[in-house]
Structure 1
Amino acid sequence: MSLAEVLSHIKVANPDDAGEIERIVTYFYESSPAKKGFAYQLFESLVVENRDLTFSRGAGGKMESTVHGYEITEYSKSFMENKVKISSNGVISEYTFAQALMHEIIHAVTGANDDGTPGADGIGNGGDYGMPANLTTPKYNYVGLTVALEQQIFAEAGIPNARASYHSTPYLNELENQLGVHMGESLTAGKEVGLVLLDDIAPLDTK
């Protein structure tokens, strides 16, 4: 199979966005080891199964997709402006539009959800995701299946400092204004930690 065959199954509703989305797909496809890489296999599956992956801007200004529905229903570059991710060693780095779009592609093509609880389909759609009310909940998967696959794809592409959990993508100004930390700095003084969780940070005082 070839990149051209993969791109023939990428359908973008807004022609103005087609070039950028095709470049993002190309980047992750070509950065993934041929035959063995997860992103490579994900995009090749579109050709093997003769399925189109569609992209629509939507109206909500967010990043959304249908789980195993082969459709990105919303995407917004402005929504991703100033977004950062926090790695397992606490490093703050940019969480780009391309990286967030890849997260939604994982949902749409593989059927993986953001929780880690196996559902009836065995993929991981069985329960709630995120942060439970009781932080002592045993065996709770704070990473989630989609983020675990995202981590694998980013490692294949050589993207450093993948986010450590589902709840580790705040906006930079929240961290700067309320915690006094900046891009490239570490929240843990560079030490590796087993879990990164950010609860909702209170709205900023703009007065």
Structure 2
Amino acid sequence: MYDGLRVKFPELFKDERCPPFPAGAIFGLYNVTFIDTRRVAFEKLFQYIVSQKELKCSDKLSQFLEYSNLLKALSRQADQASQVPRHANPGAPRTSVHSDGSLDATLSFQEAILLIKSLRKERENEHAAFAEIRRLAELDFENEVQARVEESSPVCKICWLKSVEVTLVPCGHTVMCEKCATDCPGHRCPFCNVEFTQSLKVFF
């Protein structure tokens, strides 16, 4: 059982640079070179089909056109077509181009269902891959933020273990943790050798 669709092309499709595109190539069944060289016509054809609400076609084919979201899968289908042997396929959708620029395309319902399932699986895989990429990106961002915070936090120049916690008065050096300031010999700043009278707690 085949469902038929006849599309009357508007003038924009009668351009030698964008000749009508056989629907058989849509499914990657033959003529790889034709697919690669007519990509623009391919996209324009489906944009036109999907946008025309007054087209007379079967319910099954209408449902297929609305559900399959082919516009987002054009590149993938063309790439997959390059892996298919170039020979006539008895099960290929049948097409014919008329002198007036119109196109007859027939598509079996079973082929439409298989293509829909394939596209749905590809979208699911893409969504899963995107979610994983986003998770890794967020994790990398968090790690980068943490690393920058650690780099920006001044470290005690005496023990090199704790963060700087105090400022020495009167010299004003802020280079030590509280413990190292308390244990500093003679209460002298290790950098300027000025005796400090107190150490003030600081926060960064």
Normalised by the length of structure 2, the TM-score is 0.25
Q: Which has the larger radius of gyration?
A: 2
> Which structure: greater helix fraction?
2
Normalised by the length of structure 1, the TM-score is 0.25
